[in-house]
Amino acid sequence: MARVRSEPPVFASTLIPLDLPLGRYIRLCREKKGWSRREFGKKMGITMSGVAQLENRESPEPLLSTTIRASRALGIPIEKFIEGVLLLGESEK
């Protein structure tokens, strides 16, 4: 039987550039689901203030592993999640 890998892949330590609207996209998705920051934080395994920092980009550039956890918590495949971030960035130019 194949073993399911629970850790993020090795590239998960890659930083997400600050110029991408990652925080805004996370907030839009979270609000669309009707979740508070506290609810989303529980699903993601971080605090409510951690969610606020992520959404407002107050913390250092997030790791790709954090982005993967956010996409999983939101139920969005990582490919679609990153595509959504990139599309939002294009629409804001």
The backbone torsions φ and ψ at residue 63, rounded to the nearest 5 degrees and listed phi first, read: -75, 155
The CATH code of domain 20-91 reads 1.10.260.40
Identify the pLDDT of residue 19: 58
Domain ranges of the chain: 20-91
pLDDT, tens digit (0-9, with 9 covering 90-100), for 4-52? 444 444 344 444 554 567 888 899 999 999 999 999 999 999 999 999 9
Give CA 88 to chain center in angstroms.
Answer: 14
Q: Write out the two tokens for 44.
A: 């993601």
Give this prediction's pTM.
Answer: 0.74
